[in-house]
Amino acid sequence: VKRPTRARSASISEREAMRQRILATVDSIPRGNVATYGEIAREAGLSGRARLVGRILRELPSGSKIPWHRVINAAGRISVRGTSEHEQARRLRRERVTIDARGRIDLARHRWATAR
């Protein structure tokens, strides 16, 4: 059993469409909730492309209104490295999302229930 799906490179316009869907999905995460990269990808119709979500978020301009800080990895931790790592933790705590001493967020409690 191998490749059920075809791997085709996306055109510029298709990529822009994917970007829009991803950002729209992230934008729909309610305050005080979090979602994983994989979940965002699935919700955006891009199952299996979690890394693309990270790539798109990484390119967001600093003044963006998109709640990028509500996206974390499947382990319940913050994936961003560098200064924005602290910025993400700050923003989450500001929304009452607790992060334990080991840097983990309780997904069972804060995970965005993607009612589907």
Partner DNA sequence: CACCTGACAGAAG
Partner DNA sequence: TCTTCTGCCAGGT
Q: How far apart are CA 90 and CA 37, in angstroms?
A: 19
Using a CB cutoff of 8 Å and minimum separation of 24, what contacts does 93-101 make? 95/31, 95/32, 96/32, 97/32, 97/33, 97/34
55 binds DNA (CB under 7 A): yes
The yes or no reply on residue 36 touching DNA (CB under 7 A) is yes
**Using rule CB under 7 A, residue 38 touches DNA:** yes
Residue count, binding to DNA (CB under 7 A): 33
Residue indicated by tokens 């700050």:
90
Q: What residue ranges bind DNA (CB under 7 A)? A: 3, 5, 7, 9-10, 15, 36-39, 48-55, 57-58, 60, 68-69, 71, 73-75, 79-81, 84, 88, 102
